[in-house]
Amino acid sequence: MTSETADAPRAVIVISSHVARGSVGNRAAVFALETLGYPVWAVPTVILPWHPGHGRATRIVPQPGEFAALMKDLENAPWLGEVAGVLSGYLGNAEQAAAVASLVAAVRARNPNALYVCDPVMGDLGGLYVSEAHAAALRDTLLPLADIATPNRYELEWIVGAKLDSVRAVVEAAMHVGPANMLVTSAPAMMAGSTGNLLVTPTAALLAEHRIIERPPNGLGDLTGAVFMARLLGGQTMEAALRSTTASVFEILARTAKRGGDELQLETDAQSLSHPMAMVHLRHLLHPGRDKRA
C-alpha cells in the first residue's frame, strides 16, 4: 500500500505489551516487522517479566496521563511523516484507547494512506481476561477507526454477543460489526483437525486452514497481525497476504512445537517470515454481501 519511492513512508508504530522474556506483544510484532524491512516505533502499554500464562508477575502500567503525554509527543514528532501505519494490540487499561485513537488520527492527517490495524486483544476460549470496560473501549473507540481488525473468534463472539460455531456465523458476524476488512483467527475450519484464519472483506470471504498444534505458545495473534500488515504494506493483495501470513505463522508454530519451546522461537525461524514453505489450504467462501441467498 506504500509507494516504491525512496522517501515513501515505511515506519510502523506498534502499540502493545512488552515482556522481558518471550515472543508476545511488541516482542513478536516488532521482530516480525523489522525482519521484513519496516522500521518500528514501539510503544509499550504494559511491562511484564513474562506472559501471565507462565505465572503471576509484576505488572507495570503507565499512568493514563503519562501515557497520553507520550502519545501526544509522537503526534507532534517531526518524523511523523515517516509512518506508513499503526498496529495496536494489548492495552494496559481502558484509558489508553483514547490516546491510541488520537495518534491514529494524527498519523492519518500526515499520511492519508496510512494503514491502521487493530488487534482487539481482550480474551480467548476461556472468556475475557480484561475488564468489560476495557473490552468496551476496544470495541467502541478503536474498532470503528480500523482499516483492518484481527480479533480471534472468541473476541469476536464477545463483540457481537453470540456464539460463533460455524464458518458462516463468523462471516456474518464480521460483516455486521466491521471494520470493512476483518481477519478472524482461531476460526472454525472445514478440514478435520484443522483451524483457520478467516478474512472477510466487502467482496470476499477467504478461509486459510492448517492443522491444529496442541498447546501452542502465546503470541500467535500478535505475530499474525504484524506479518499481515507487512504483507499489505509490501503491496500484496489481501488474498496473497492471507495465504503467506498463515503459512509463516503456522511454520514458526510447528517448528517451535517440534522443539518443545514454550515461546515462539522467532529468532531461530526468522527465514519463515520471509520465505515460508508450509502448505496452506485456501478456500473461497460464499459471501453473503454478494449473494443474498447465502
Q: Where do the domains of the chain lie? A: 11-285
Bridge partners of 117?
87, 148
What the block records as the C-alpha cell of 86 is 499503526
The pLDDT tens digits along the chain (294 residues) read 444 455 789 999 999 999 999 999 999 999 999 999 999 999 999 999 999 889 999 999 999 999 999 999 999 999 999 999 999 999 999 999 999 999 999 999 999 999 999 999 999 998 999 999 999 999 999 999 999 999 999 999 999 999 999 999 999 999 999 799 999 999 999 999 999 999 999 999 999 999 999 999 999 999 999 999 999 999 999 999 999 999 999 999 999 999 999 999 999 999 999 999 999 999 999 888 755 433
What pLDDT, on the 0 to 100 scale, is given for residue 289?
74
- Beta-strand runs (E) in the chain: 11-19, 40-48, 83-88, 115-118, 123-124, 127-128, 148-149, 181-187, 194-200, 205-211, 281-285
May I ask the CATH class of domain 11-285? Answer: alpha beta
**pLDDT value for 108:** 98
Any residues with CB less than 8 A from the CB of 164 and at least 6 apart, and which?
Answer: 153, 156, 157, 170, 173, 188
The neighbour count for residue 123, using CB atoms within 10 Å, is 17
pTM: 0.94
Phi and psi of 224, rounded to 5°?
-60, -45
- What pLDDT does 7 receive? 72
Q: Say how far apart CA 106 and CA 124 lie, in whole Å.
A: 31
Q: Write the CB contacts of 53 (distance below 8 Å, at least 6 apart in sequence).
A: 218
pLDDT of 2 reads 41
pLDDT, residue 290, reads 59
Q: How many helices (H) and strands (E) does the chain have?
A: 9, 11
Which residue's C-alpha cell is 484443522?
A: 194
CA 271 from chain center: how many Å? 20
